[in-house]
Amino acid sequence: MNGPALLSILDLAAAQTAGDPPFYTGLLPLIPMAAVFYFLVLRPQMRKQKDHQQKISALKKGDQVVTAGGLIAKVVRVDEATVDLEIATGVKVRAIKSTLGDIVPPGGTTVAND
């Protein structure tokens, strides 16, 4: 067999094979990837945000908090959207509730003096 005849046979064989796969087969891998993204990224983040909202809504006078800037302060007054904090004796600041990082337990944590 010469070259052009062999190429024409191969072209016929390729034409007789199944056509292109349906377009949705390219989308099938995206479904498990979206599920993994949801369960590993979005869901834990939403749970963390919900827990933070519950902590902030339960804030009351006398609680110790850590601000987003890292300051540890005592809550003096709680408003609807803001909180008055005492960061030192006689030094009071006003902060937006959503910028509070965490509520420190009453005893606090011991400092590692290593």
Question: What digits encode the pLDDT tens for the residues 10-65?
Answer: 666 565 555 677 778 888 999 999 999 999 999 999 999 999 999 999 999 999 99
- Measured CA to CA, the distance from residue 43 to residue 37 in angstroms comes to 9
CA 38 to chain CA centroid, Å, is 10
Residues 6+ apart with CB under 8 A from 84: 75, 76, 77, 78, 92, 93, 94
Quick one: pLDDT at residue 104? 86
Token reading at 89: 């004796």
SS3 21: coil
Question: What digits encode the pLDDT tens for the residues 58-112?
Answer: 999 999 999 989 899 999 999 999 999 999 999 999 999 989 988 888 765 554 4
Total-model pTM: 0.63
Helix or strand run (H / E) with residue 91: strand 91-96
Domains of the chain: 25-104 (2.30.30)
